[in-house]
Amino acid sequence: MKKLLSLALCLLSFNSFALGGYDSLTDIEKKVLKSIVTQLGITDSDNSIKKKIYDASDYAFEGTWGSYWTGLEELSSSKYKDGAEKGVIEIALNNSKNGTYFLTYIYKPETSQIILFSKQIRYGRKKHLLDEFEKRKNNKEKYELRHEGDNYAMLQEKGKVDYEFFHVSGGTGSLVYQTQGTIDL
């Protein structure tokens, strides 16, 4: 009975964490989300939009990671220097588990929607990458071959704005996953 009670408490604590919402996020995750809504020019006093943004891109926050964001004002030659321009931010995350992500958020107030462009960069052994490419290329129900060369190729997941860019050179290869989605506000 004690074991069952302990197991039930563990399950409840995991579920509580999963349902904890914005308050269950780490301080650094909250800081990144605050930067996103600030740069997009969104007012979010109840944190509901930050939660939606996190839910749409939580995969990039797995494991340990570091991040850096850029907006429209960082270039010395940029004419967006007054701080009034909002609506675009790109977050770059180095992730210990899943490679590097680039998350670009674009917001236009009259649409009540954020467009999210996500790119994940992975690398590995050439043989492993070629085997994975052949497996996916042969899955014609799920993927469409967009182009293929001697050392590069691109697949698209059917019915989605999801692409996979393969490139091999020497004994290594890289794979870039690119997806696009929406966050309704």
| Residue 20, domain member (yes or no) | no
| Residue 11, domain member (yes or no) | no
Q: How many domains does the chain have?
A: 1
- List the one residue out of 175, 132, 184, 136 whose CA is nearest residue 152: 175
* Cβ proximity of 44 and 51 under 8 Å: no
**Tokens matching residue 180:** 């696009």
| Residue 9, domain member (yes or no) | no
CA atoms of 34 and 49, how far apart (whole Å): 10
| Residue 43, domain member (yes or no) | yes
**How far are the Cα atoms of 55, 122, 125, 132, 174 from residue 64, in angstroms, in the given order?**
18, 16, 23, 26, 21
| Residue 120, domain member (yes or no) | yes
pLDDT of residue 2: 40
- List the one residue out of 108, 106, 112, 79 whose CA is nearest residue 91: 106
Lowest pLDDT segment from 25-29, 81-85, 177-181: 81-85
pLDDT grade for 20, boundaries at 50, 70 and 90 = low
CA atoms of 185 and 135, how far apart (whole Å): 38
- State the Cα angle at 82 between 76 and 85, rounded to 5°: 100
Give the dihedral sign, CA 47/49/55/61: negative
- pLDDT above 90 as % of the chain: 71
pLDDT over 70 at 152, yes or no = yes
| Residue 98, domain member (yes or no) | yes
Q: Taking the complete model, does pTM exceed 0.85, yes or no?
A: no
* Cβ proximity of 116 and 180 under 8 Å: yes
pLDDT over 60 at 5, yes or no = no
CA atoms of 33 and 4, how far apart (whole Å): 38
Average pLDDT, the chain: 87
pLDDT of residue 86: 85
| Residue 4, domain member (yes or no) | no
| Residue 150, domain member (yes or no) | yes
pLDDT of residue 8: 38
Q: Stretch 7-23: mean pLDDT, rounded?
A: 47
pLDDT grade for 12, boundaries at 50, 70 and 90 = very low
Q: Considering only residues 21 and 99, tell me which one the structure prediction assigns the higher pLDDT.
A: 99
Q: Stretch 143-151: mean pLDDT, rounded?
A: 97
CA atoms of 130 and 153, how far apart (whole Å): 10
Q: What are the residues whose beta carbons fall under 8 Å from the beta carbon of 132, sequence distance 6 or more?
A: 175
Q: Stretch 69-96: mean pLDDT, rounded?
A: 84
pLDDT grade for 146, boundaries at 50, 70 and 90 = very high
Lowest pLDDT segment from 3-17, 65-79, 114-128: 3-17
Sheet with 162-169, strands from edge to edge, namely 65-70, 88-95, 99-108, 113-125, 172-184, 162-169, 152-157, 143-148
- Domain extent, residue 83, equals 25-184
Q: Stretch 141-154: mean pLDDT, rounded?
A: 97
